[in-house]
Amino acid sequence: MVPVRTCIGCRQQVEQNTVVRFALEGDQVVLDAQRRKPGRGAWLHPSRGCIDTALQRKAFHRAFRQPVQTAQISFGAVEALTVNEESGLERDEHPMSTDG
């Protein structure tokens, strides 16, 4: 049975493997690609719509129960993570260069 999480953007309850986790480092929200950072996490669909909605509604502040810095959150990082997952790479692997 896969755990259920709530996307802080669209507020839908979904299986954990369909959303990405964000955590805090100090007061900065960071992408937790390996889902192992300590403390409270915030879950979000890897879509531009959910990310924009969460930022507009200040959902990260509510999820972490304190004022947080969200300026560094980018859709590009989330998109890169999901592309790596779809290509079969592990969360901590990176594609190798084939240049000689």
Query: Would you give per-residue pLDDT tens digits along the chain (100 residues)?
Result: 899 999 999 999 999 999 999 999 999 999 999 999 999 999 999 999 999 999 999 999 999 999 999 998 888 888 887 776 666 544 443 333 344 4
pLDDT at 20: 95
| Residue at 25 is within a domain | yes
CB contact at 8 A, 51 and 9: yes
Per the CB < 8 A criterion, the answer to whether 16 and 2 are in contact is yes
Q: What CA–CA distance (Å, rounded) separates 92 from 33?
A: 8
- For residues 13 and 4, give the distance between their C-alpha atoms in angstroms, rounded to a whole number: 6
Range of the structural domain that residue 9 is part of: 1-46
Supply the pLDDT for residue 75: 85
36 inside domain = yes
- 12 within a domain of the structure (yes/no): yes
Instruction: Assess if residue 85 is contained within a domain.
Output: no
- H or E stretch at 7: none
| pLDDT score at 86 | 65
Number of compact structural domains in the chain: 1
